[in-house]
Structure 1
Amino acid sequence: MAKPMQPPKMEALKRRIREHRRDRSAGEGTFVRETFCMSREEARQKAREWFDAFPKAAYWTEVESWRQLEGDRIEFTMRRLPSAD
């Protein structure tokens, strides 16, 4: 009969999370992100600029998140790979 799985010890889990975050922030393979806050038309233009400069097929460019603020302003984050390699 198999033993039931034991949850990981909290310290080991915290250590693994720290290691993962440190490795991710080292730069290799991480996404480049930039957040903007603009009028709706300016936001559309900025997103077009990103897609023109960094084509989605090569850089996995996308609007990662967005929200509408007061006064028809849009806050959004663009994301892409650092290179097309």
Structure 2
Amino acid sequence: MRSDRNRPFDAVRRAPGAREQASDGWKRETFVLPREAARIKAREILDRFPKAAYLTEVEFWRELEDGRIEFTMRRLPSSD
């Protein structure tokens, strides 16, 4: 059985800068943190870039085998 880390799309997603260079106009940042630190970090980003102005959201998240949380935050780079 293959682990989640060995799936090809995961390797692309983990490549340095791969998520931040998307050409769809969204700013993405991926984090891997312990559960409580992940909650704090997501809340910081949501407070700093409110959904009403930046459409900020948690685009993706999963729990890793070691209990840490990997998540990607997505937002528009600026509000108009």
Same fold (TM over 0.5): yes
Q: CA RMSD in A?
A: 1.4
Indicate the residue corresponding to 1:47 in structure 2: 42
Structure-2 separation of matches of 1:53 and 1:39: 21
Deviation at 1:71, TM superposition (A): 2.3
**Where has structure 1 moved over 4 Å in runs of 4 or more?**
none
The answer to whether structure 1 residue 37 and structure 2 residue 53 are counterparts is no
Q: Tell me, which stretches of 5 or more residues in structure 2 are unaligned? A: 1-21
- Counterpart code for 1:40: R
- Counterpart code for 2:36: E
Identity across aligned pairs (percent)?
68
Deviation at 1:67, TM superposition (A): 0.5
TM-score, with length taken from structure 1: 0.65
Structure 2 matches for 1:1-85, cutoff 5 A?
25=23, 30-85=25-80
Structure label with greater radius of gyration: 1
Deviation at 1:70, TM superposition (A): 1.7
TM-score, with length taken from structure 2: 0.69
Indicate the residue corresponding to 1:17 in structure 2: none
Question: SS state of the match for residue 37, structure 2?
Answer: helix
- Counterpart code for 1:47: A
Q: Which is richer in helix?
A: 1
How many matched pairs?
A: 59
